């Protein structure tokens, strides 16, 4: 994921909080994966979106998952950057 002005601003705002939480939770954050049930639901909505068959409620739900996935990706990238290296 390329760093955008929005991503950079998000990271600047969140970094102080992450330093409080890390390193105790680093491993848990980096190992986080969605449940199979949630992944299946997102894939179902993605398919319907591609076909143009989402209802208004499904569009809103799918948008929420897309936003959440972006958040998790940025969060995990930040954790990797802030985590002490194992050299």
- Spell out the domain ranges in the chain: 5-82
Cβ contacts of residue 37 below 8 Å, gap of 6+?
A: none
Q: What is the pLDDT of residue 41?
A: 97
CA distance 52 to 60: 14
Q: What is the pLDDT of residue 85?
A: 65
The per-residue pLDDT string of the chain (87 residues; one tens digit each, 9 = 90 and over) reads 567 898 889 888 988 888 887 777 888 888 999 999 999 999 999 999 999 999 999 999 999 999 999 889 888 888 888 776 654
C-beta separation of 1 from 7 below 8 A: yes
Q: What is the pLDDT of residue 87?
A: 46
């Amino acid at each position: 994921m390329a760093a955008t002005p929005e991503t950079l601003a998000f990271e600047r705002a969140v970094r102080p909080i992450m330093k409080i939480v890390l390193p105790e939770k680093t491993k848990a954050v980096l190992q986080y994966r969605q449940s199979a049930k949630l992944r299946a639901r997102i894939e179902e909505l993605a398919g319907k979106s591609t076909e143009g068959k989402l209802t208004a409620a499904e569009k809103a739900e799918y948008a929420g998952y897309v936003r959440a996935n972006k958040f998790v990706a940025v969060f995990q990238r930040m954790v990797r950057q802030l985590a002490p290296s194992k050299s």
